[in-house]
């Protein structure tokens, strides 16, 4: 069974631009979560989607948004990019929405560099 | 709220040495506990998990036991290899559906 896939793997953007990242979950997984990883802040939760609905959101500004499609694929968008948005963005999928017991499986990540 | 405290590295060991990476947690409810590993330039891979107290998760020679009395989930391996060099993250399931991670421990194994 194929794992979580993320595209693109690398991106370079300039301040003020916007970017869209894509994630395809493991077949049969209906929940997708996004995380931001930076050296300073570590791994931080962005949001979670299930059945095309955002279930939970982390403490990030409204410039960060996402959506999920009927085939469970998900996209996240960052508008008006800032230098501090440079990070590795990780997507994770699980069978059902994340809770205390659910296991999440991660993709390889998209590395975003904002210049 | 739920939180994870993980020993900070870096940890440098010689090949075949014994490894322990400490992880303690604070949690309401009974979350699952996880260890993930991140190799250079890659995403996170699930290494092992435990879903309830006294469960032992194991994989590739690594193991960790869910200790409710000491709120710990320490990662151990009896004999590390150069290929184990990576960053290791302890995590637990959060009440909002997210995983809560420790800061990560970088392990370097020298031949």
Which residues 30-89 in chain B show a CB within 8 A of chain A?
30-32, 34, 36, 42-46, 49, 51, 89
For the stretch A53-67, pLDDT in tens is 999 999 999 999 999
* Chain A CA closest to residue B104: A42
Q: Write out B25-70 in H/E/C secondary structure.
A: EECCCCCCEEEEEECCCCCEEEEEEECCCCCEEEECCEEEECECCC
Distances (CA, A) of A14 to A11, A65, A81, A109, A110: 10, 19, 7, 20, 16
For the stretch A12-22, pLDDT in tens is 999 999 999 99
* Chain A CA closest to residue B32: A101
Nearest CB to B97 within list A43, A97, A106? A97
A25 touches chain B (CB under 8 A): no
Q: Is the pLDDT at A1 greater than 80, yes or no?
A: no
Q: Which residues of A touch B101 (CB under 8 A)?
A: 42-43
- The number of residues in chain A equals 115
A93 touches chain B (CB under 8 A): no
Q: Which pLDDT score, from 0 to 100, does residue B9 have?
A: 84
**Residue numbers of chain B with a pLDDT score lower than 50:** none
Stretch A99-114: mean pLDDT, rounded? 89
Please answer yes or no on whether A99 and B93 come within 8 Å at the CB atom. yes
For the stretch A86-101, pLDDT in tens is 999 999 999 888 666 7
H helix and E strand count, chain A = 0, 11
Burial (Cβ within 10 Å: 0-12, 13-18, ≥19) of residue B22: middle
CA B57 to chain A, closest CA, distance in angstroms equals 13
Contact in structure between A46 and A36 (CB atoms under 8 Å): yes
């Amino acid at each position: 069974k194929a794992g979580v896939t993320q595209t693109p793997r690398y991106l370079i953007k300039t301040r003020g631009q916007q970017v869209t990242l894509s994630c395809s979950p493991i077949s049969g997984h209906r929940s997708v979560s996004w995380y931001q990883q930076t050296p300073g802040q570590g791994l931080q939760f962005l949001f979670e989607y299930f059945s095309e609905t955002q279930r939970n959101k982390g403490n990030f500004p409204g410039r960060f948004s996402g959506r999920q499609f009927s085939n469970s694929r998900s996209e996240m968008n960052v508008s008006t990019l800032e230098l501090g948005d440079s990070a590795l963005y990780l997507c994770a999928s699980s069978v059902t929405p994340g809770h205390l017991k659910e296991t999440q499986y991660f993709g390889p990540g998209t590395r975003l560099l904002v210049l | 709220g739920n939180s994870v405290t993980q020993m900070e590295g870096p940890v440098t060991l010689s090949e075949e040495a014994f490894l322990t990476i400490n992880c303690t947690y604070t949690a309401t409810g009974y979350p699952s506990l996880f260890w993930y590993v991140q190799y250079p330039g890659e995403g996170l891979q699930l290494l092992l998990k435990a879903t309830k107290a006294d469960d032992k998760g194991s994989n590739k020679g690594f193991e960790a036991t869910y200790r409710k009395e000491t709120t710990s989930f320490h990662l151990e391996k009896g004999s590390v290899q150069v290929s184990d060099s990576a960053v290791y993250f302890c995590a637990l399931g959060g009440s909002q559906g997210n995983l809560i991670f420790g800061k990560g421990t970088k392990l370097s194994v020298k031949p």
